[in-house]
Amino acid sequence: MDFTVENKQSLFQLVTLGVFAALAVVGVIVLALPSDGGSRGEQAIPTTPITIWGASMPAVYDMDYAFAEMGKRYPVLQKITYREKHPETIYPDLLEAIAAGSGIPDIILFNQSELLTLQSKLYKIPYKTYPLATYQDTYVESASVYLDSEGVYALPIAVDPLVLFWNRDLFRSAAIPQVPDDWTSFVDTVPLLTETQNGADVVRAGVALGEYDNVLHAKEILSALLLQLRVPIVTSRNTTYQARITGSGSGADSTAALRFYTDFSNPRKLVYTWNKTFERSLEAFASNKLAMYFGFVSEIDLINNLNPNLNFNVSTFPQSSSPESTKTTYANVYAVGITANSPHKTRAYQVAQFLASGTMAGPLQALLELPSARRDSLPVAPDDPYQRVLVQSAIMAQTWPEPRGGQADQIFRAMVNNVTTRESRLEGAISTAQSQLSAALSSE
């Protein structure tokens, strides 16, 4: 399968709907929002400048180019200035702009990892304006992360699910006919793909699991394992968020997930295949030193750039065969939210609603090369195997909001390292992580 990204100009070849139909999509509900000074919404569209800040977007996307090109075709997207912001500085930058009373963005494009950081500065769309049932019927399940009991914090535009990348050449050399789609066959496959020297030293790994610092997306992989076991990780009630790493309270589900993950770096286990001496998992996969790599769909272009000759494919994240489990994977869900201090809320809402509309689903999918967050834009059974992986992953994905400042990453790192270094037993590591995550959430 060819993963080469096509020229971005092709994105706009998919656009076939007219401007007037697009404006009808956004014109129905803008009257419920405060006016930004225009006499009517339609007249304000071409004249009011809008600033969009972007955080956590993969670096391969040229959003300046995208908005400039889309503005040529849709008046609602004209006069948009896009500025990329680092996730660690977007909140203080926003506070500074609000304090100064100038340079305040009208819209922020972000994913769920930044939701709690930005939440207090976002305009929450009330359900009387955007009904809960309409939102849930329109967007995939993972998009519910942007809801609370009172309204909608952001409108989702794309889903970036966690998938399994696998090396075709290494599978062929090991005479393995199929990539594993469940954890039982996965465990059986890893030793066949692991190459050792002197009976112990791993020179080629079957998969990158077990450690934390050199396993890219370790937190997200663990999240997927926990979510499959119906451990919600974080729950919300009204506007309060609570940590639920231990699931039902017994800790059994979480213990099983953490044990499974860390076993792959335990030399005493048959699935031992990874250790601290390896380079980071992404680079190891790109250099043919790793047979299977868990990564996001958005990394396909990055992998191609690292090694244009790498013969690889993509499959869905493996699932548990237990009837008590649920089929799911983890995903980043990109969405557009309106800032509470925007002086142009009506215009900002028109832009946000349009970006999340069915009209823009095709162009955005072509630009980002990610599945749409809209249910009506995801075909049930795509003929192309690659698209089928993306669609299935997007539909079944789940996610959770993180406390600010990268605290979740620190908590998950400590949980894994405490087990691999034998400083804590599984139950103790999970209990500590639960307490730390609860404390981080309560400070939001």
Contacts of 325 (CB under 8 A, 6+ apart): 228, 229, 230, 319
Kindly state whether residues 326 and 337 are assigned to the same domain: no
- Arithmetic mean of pLDDT, 91-111: 95
With beta carbons less than 8 A apart as the criterion, state whether 332 and 111 touch: yes
Give residue 118's domain range: 8-160+331-390
Element (H, E) at 352: helix 345-355
Kindly state whether residues 39 and 136 are assigned to the same domain: yes
Helix or strand or coil: residue 241? strand
Kindly state whether residues 196 and 130 are assigned to the same domain: no
Kindly state whether residues 286 and 209 are assigned to the same domain: yes
**Inside any domain, residue 174:** yes
Q: For a pLDDT cut of 70, what percent of the chain falls above it?
A: 87
What pLDDT is attached to residue 68? Answer: 87
Smallest CA-to-CA distance from 280 within 334, 211, 330, 342 is with 211
pLDDT in tens, 198-233: 767 899 999 999 999 999 999 999 999 999 999 999
The last residue of a domain, from among 354, 370, 390: 390
Q: DSSP string covering 72-134, please?
A: HH-GGG-SEEEEEE-TTTHHHHHHHHHHHTSS--SEEEEEGGGHHHHGGGBPPEETTTS-HHH
Kindly state whether residues 121 and 175 are assigned to the same domain: no
**Inside any domain, residue 3:** no
- Predicted TM-score of the model (pTM): 0.89
**Inside any domain, residue 2:** no
Measure CA 250 to chain center.
Answer: 29
Kindly state whether residues 62 and 74 are assigned to the same domain: yes
**Inside any domain, residue 1:** no
Mean residue pLDDT across the chain: 87
408: tokens are 């979740």
Q: Could you tell me the CATH number of the domain that includes residue 150? A: 3.40.190.10
pLDDT in tens, 257-299: 999 999 999 999 999 999 999 999 999 999 999 999 999 999 9
What pLDDT is attached to residue 380? Answer: 80
Residue 96: half-sphere exposure toward Cβ, Cα within 13 Å: 5
Kindly state whether residues 135 and 13 are assigned to the same domain: yes
- Arithmetic mean of pLDDT, 388-411: 95
